[in-house]
Amino acid sequence: MLPSISAGIWRGAQHILRTRVAPRRTGLCTCAGIPGELCDAGTIFALSSGHGRCGVAVVRVSGPASTTALRCMAGLTHSLLTPRTALLRSITDPQSKEVLDRGLVLWFPGPHSFTGEDSAEFHIHGGPAVITAVLQALGSLPGMRPAEAGEFTRRAFHAGKLGLTEVEGLGDLIHAETEAQRRQALRQMCGDLGRLYQDWTSRLKRCLAHVEAFIDFSEDELIEDGVLNQVDTSVCDLQAEMERHLKDERRGERLRSGVQVVIAGATNAGKSSLLNTLCQRPAAIVSPIAGTTRDVVETALDIGGFPAVLSDTAGLRDSPDLVEREGVRRARERVEQADLTLVVVDCAQLPSDAQQAPAFLQGHLSSILPTQERSQTERCLLVLNKTDLVSEEWRQQLETELRRSSGLPPVCLISCQTNEGLQDFLAALHSSIKALCGDPLSGAPSLTQARHRAHLQQCVAALSQYHRYRDTDLALAAEGVRLALTSLGRITGRVGAEEILDIIFKDFCIGK
Ligand SMILES: Nc1nc2c(ncn2[C@@H]2O[C@H](COP(=O)(O)OP(=O)(O)OP(=O)(O)O)[C@@H](O)[C@H]2O)c(=O)[nH]1
Ligand SMILES: [Mg+2]
């Protein structure tokens, strides 16, 4: 039996909980990365506003023939071209002169355009026939070809309009499904992260210049005393800042890809009922038979603006059944990997003497959570389900005992049957997830990708080389700073960008 959900609860919880329509990275379209050799000159065009019937569609053009397109299809001769001004024009087929639509056209002369090239936009009606006709007309013009996925942004990158971290921020913004993801992506796209890495790059360059000057000129006594001491201090400061940035508990990466929330507990505790209650649909089978769930059932949720991937798992027990044993193995594996574990317990199974409940719950948690997590109470919420089955008097005793005890993670008492306690549980879930993701708008910008982390770790390691050789071999010490600069350059795209561009643009859409 599925629990019936009272409309009142959901109206109240609306600001906290929304089912996310699609898992991450299934945004507007799926596109292959664009091979480097296709990123040539020439004029590209694409539908930028996404597929499907819509009121207005935007077709973008970028490259030297943009003005040809405006002249041949919108009758905008040179004297009529006004930068960044929308003009209502008839849009015609350049060969047959037939009017295809009436819409707005805009001209963005380079270098002050998104791509840095001459660009144009046709804002046309969004019916499939109009879009096809306009795209075909553009394709019939000399020097024009359809754009590849991410090619407009790739051109912007090559024109120096965006750094690599900004490009990644833009990609994340297109895929952002929750408020917090949008905020983090926008901040990155606007260059906050890029500026931080740029600042470190400039400081490292100064260090390198000073060390090299010392190597070249110290014997001629042309270098002031203490130059190397200044470099020592700068390198130490930089290392400390980078290490702080790396020690962010993966908040930014977690926010980007969704917090992994795993529902775990004994059989029949009501784990699947909780999943269904949270996602407001019968995603998992609920039954009174112990051991109903075997496979992991996943669903993506927006919890108060933060992305979460909720996983229901098999009830944890020893079983002779081979299939169930595999389910339990998978459940334990998920708990190991979880950012947050919701340990669900059936209230009615707690000791009848409420005084013994805290110790019982401690023991129960130890059998579920991995050793290193047991002390980290912020990585777990204890959900005591089925409050409708216990007496009010016992429940009050339990709450008193829980308040008295220490060392337990936050406890929520709920009933998936009556929805009692659900509001408080949602508030607790929201604050746990928020703590795991951090506030994307406050403090230093977050590290958002494993790629950044790997290069930064290499950067910090290279700076240790400076300290290692500082007193014995200055050339090797300088090499350490140079390697650190190379690692930073890989993040911002100053070094070896081509090899990572294809990977980054695989998530981009055609038309962006
Ligand atoms: N009275 C009451 N029954 C509940 C509540 N929540 C779940 N149940 C019932 O408890 C039984 C087990 O619920 P499930 O959600 O399937 O439990 P589970 O933890 O997923 O069980 P497994 O998949 O077997 O591990 C079902 O009959 C549910 O209807 C509740 O809050 N109150
Ligand atoms: Mg289940």
* Crossing angle of the two packed helices 179-189 and 192-217, in degrees rounded to 10: 40
pLDDT (tens digit, 9 = 90+) per residue, 360-395? 999 999 999 987 665 566 799 999 999 999 999 999
CA of 265, nearest ligand number: 1
pLDDT at 6: 39
Domain spans, the chain: 36-163, 199-248+448-492, 253-437
Report d(CA 300, CA 500) in Å as an integer.
Answer: 29
The pLDDT assigned to 372 comes to 63
pLDDT band at 495 (very low <50, low <70, confident <90, very high): confident
Of the ligands numbered here, which is closest to the C-alpha atom of 324? 1
Question: Any idea which fold 36-163 has?
Answer: Gyrase A; domain 2 (3.30.1360)
User: Which pLDDT does position 53 carry in this prediction?
Assistant: 83
Residue 158 CA, distance from chain mean position: 24
Q: What is the pLDDT of residue 18?
A: 57
276 CA: nearest ligand 1 atom: 15
The C-alpha angle 54, 57, 61, rounded to 5 degrees, equals 160
Query: What pLDDT was estimated at residue 214?
Result: 84
3-class secondary structure per residue, 18-52: EECCCCCCCCCCCCCCCCHHHCCCCEEEEECCCCC
In the prediction, which pLDDT does 371 show? 74
* 253-437 homologous superfamily: P-loop containing nucleotide triphosphate hydrolases (3.40.50.300)
- Ligand 2 centre to CA of 284 (Å) is 7
Question: How do 297-303 and 306-312 pair as beta strands?
Answer: antiparallel
Label residue 499 by pLDDT band (50, 70, 90). low
Q: Cα of 427 to ligand 2 centre, how many Å?
A: 23
Residue 292 has pLDDT above 90, yes or no: yes
Read off the pLDDT band of 460 (50, 70, 90).
Answer: very high
Nearest residue by C-alpha to atom 14 in ligand 1: 270
Among the atoms of ligand 1, which is closest to the Cα of residue 291?
A: 24
In tens, the pLDDT along 397-440 reads 999 999 999 889 999 999 999 999 999 999 999 999 999 998 88
- Distance in Å, CA 43 to ligand 1 centroid: 60
Contact 129, 177 (CB under 8 A): no
Facing residues of 89 across strands?
A: 103
| Candidate from 89-93, 126-130, 152-156, 495-499 with smallest mean pLDDT | 495-499
Tell me which of 60-74, 96-110, 246-260 is least confident. 246-260
**Lowest-pLDDT choice from 224-233, 318-327, 344-353, 474-483:** 224-233
Find the length of the chain: 512
Atom of ligand 1 nearest to the CA of 416: 31
Average pLDDT over residues 270-294: 97
Write the CA distances from 6 to 3, 347, 381, integer angstroms.
9, 22, 24
* Ligand 1: centre distance to CA 270 (Å): 3
pLDDT at 290: 97
Q: Exposed (0-12), middle (13-18) or buried (19+): which is 471, by Cβ within 10 Å? A: exposed
- What pLDDT was estimated at residue 226? 82
- How many Å lie between the centroid of ligand 2 and the Cα of residue 419? 18
- The pLDDT of 134-160, averaged and rounded, is 94
Q: How many A from CA of 273 to the centre of ligand 1?
A: 6
Q: Prior bond to 351 cis, omega within 30?
A: no
Ligand 1 centroid to residue 302 C-alpha, Å: 24
- Amino acid letter, residue 317: R
**Atom number, ligand 1, closest to the C-alpha of residue 285:** 16
Give the per-residue pLDDT at 316.
Answer: 97
Ligand 1 cavity residues, CB under 6 Å: 1, 267-273, 286-288, 290-293, 314-315, 385-386, 388-389, 415-417
- Mean local confidence (pLDDT), 68-75: 96
Pocket probe mutation, ligand 1, options 416, 419, 420, 422, max atoms within 8 Å of Cβ: 416
Residues lining ion ligand 2 (Cβ < 5 A) are 271-272, 292-293
Mean pLDDT, the chain, integer: 88
Determine the pLDDT at residue 45: 97
Q: Which of 77-81, 217-221, 314-318, 363-367 has the lowest mean pLDDT?
A: 217-221
Among all bound ligands, the one having the nearest atom to the CA of 389 is 1
Is the predicted pLDDT of residue 222 greater than 70, yes or no? no
Q: What's the confidence (pLDDT) of residue 17?
A: 60
- CA angle 139-145-151, nearest 5°? 135
Residue nearest (by alpha carbon) to ligand 1 atom 21: 268
The residue whose CA has the least distance to atom 13 of ligand 1 is 270
pLDDT tens track for 2-61:
333 333 444 445 455 655 543 333 222 222 333 333 445 799 999 999 777 889 999 999
pLDDT by residue (tens digit) across 197-212?
999 999 999 999 999 8
Query: Ligand 1 pocket test: which of 268, 274, 294, 383 has the largest number of ligand atoms within 8 Å of its C-beta?
Result: 268
Which helix (H) or strand (E) is 272 found in, with range? helix 271-279
CATH architecture type of domain 199-248+448-492 = Up-down Bundle (1.20)
pLDDT of residue 67 exceeding 70, the answer is: yes
Ligand 1 atom with least separation from CA of 415: 31
Share of the chain above pLDDT 90, in %: 74
